[in-house]
Amino acid sequence: MKANFKCVVHMMITKDNKVLVQKRKGSKLWPGFYSLPAGHVDEGENQYEALVREAKEELGIELDPKDITKHYVVLRNNHFEINGKQLEPYIDYYFELSKYKGIPKIMEEDKCDELIWINLKELPEPFVNYQGDFFDNREMTYYDCETDGAYIKK
């Protein structure tokens, strides 16, 4: 049987050697945790279209895929449970960008408590574990992390 994967885009928006992160709220997974702004790839769209849409929906900014400085593809198998539910596998797309139009702000107040700029070597606590693993290992072409993720740098 072929595997089906949900896909998520993660925005690594940088400014002055810092990365923008949000504090999640109102979600089933990781409420109260810090994470990169992110969202699912919807049916019928590709990862670049999802990136542009999610940036507008979550942060009120406009992104151009031509401004991506680095991108990564991660297979996240999720060998753990949250609230007794086994999480399904995901394909995670991480996009680094420093150019955008507008000023990032909280657009979905029911999903986000705050936005802060951080140094990746000093992650706020608590931080979503698989993203923290990615930050630690993103320059590797392959990495088998605690969630059994295959990290592929493109």
- pLDDT value at residue 133: 83
CA distance 97 to 11: 8
Q: Give just the sign of the alpha carbon dihedral 116, 143, 140, 72.
A: negative
pLDDT digits (tens, 9 = 90+) for 34-65: 999 999 999 999 999 999 999 999 999 999 99
- pLDDT value at residue 140: 58
- pLDDT value at residue 153: 44
Q: Does domain 6-153 have CATH number 2.40.160.40?
A: no
- Give the start-to-end residue ranges of the domains of the chain: 6-153
If phi over 0 gives left and psi between -120 and 50 gives alpha, with beta otherwise, what is residue 123? beta
- pLDDT value at residue 79: 64
Beta carbons within 8 Å of 56's beta carbon, 6+ residues apart: 62, 107
10-residue mean pLDDT profile of the chain (154 residues): values are: 81 96 88 95 95 98 95 80 76 94 97 95 91 78 41 42
Strands 90-97, 6-15: pairing is parallel
E strand or H helix that includes residue 132: helix 129-137
- pLDDT value at residue 117: 98
- pLDDT value at residue 89: 83
CA distances from 141 to 44, 116, 138, 150 (A): 29, 29, 8, 9
